[in-house]
A = this chain, B = another copy of it.
Amino acid sequence: MLIVAINREKFPPLYRTVAANDGGLESHSYVPGGLDVLTSHPLNDQPGANPEQFIGLALSTCLNATLEAIEERRGLPHTSQVHTIVEMARDTRGFQFYLTAEVKLPGVDRETAAAMIDLAERRCPVAKLLGSSDNVTVKQVTEFSDAPAVTS
């Protein structure tokens, strides 16, 4: 595959934001002047979001926004939903996250949905960032998985 570097001079930023964490995992993460979210370790019982949830929110929101744009361009009503399951597990040298984005698109037949999801996966900037990872899967579903909490 030929990789052509993107000419960033030709395509200047249309939008810029900052997302920060100062206090570590048991603190809060924030966008200066915007969202401010309490954070906590995924394996304790304190309230708070964690990196697993933030990356899942990024993929679900981006992929569904892209599907919404594809629906709109085709003159279809918005029916898509994306639920991303994020799992954290040890590996030989630390920890890994595994993402499974389940996509429901009830407004069209299965084959049309597959083509739209494939297109969304190639267009969504978050999917592009994650696309080369073996840890990330996007799949069409008719019902979302239960995805029960892990109990130790």
Contact status A82-B20, CB under 8 Å: yes
Name A's interface SS: mixed
Contact status A54-B49, CB under 8 Å: no
With the chains together, A98 CA to B129 CA distance in Å?
Answer: 9
Contacts of A17 in B (CB 8 A): 42, 50, 52-53, 56, 85-86, 149
Interface size for A (C-beta < 8 A) is 83
Most buried by B among A81, A84, A86, A90: A86
With the chains together, A90 CA to B135 CA distance in Å?
Answer: 26
With the chains together, A132 CA to B117 CA distance in Å?
Answer: 23
- Indicate if A108 sits at the interface (CB-CB under 8 A): no
Mark contacts of A1-41 with chain B using CB atoms, 8 A cut-off: 1 yes-contact digit, 0 otherwise. Answer: 00001101001111111111111110001010011010100
Contact status A128-B96, CB under 8 Å: yes
Of all chain B residues, the one with the shortest Cβ separation from A5 is: B134
Most buried by B among A21, A39, A132, A147: A21
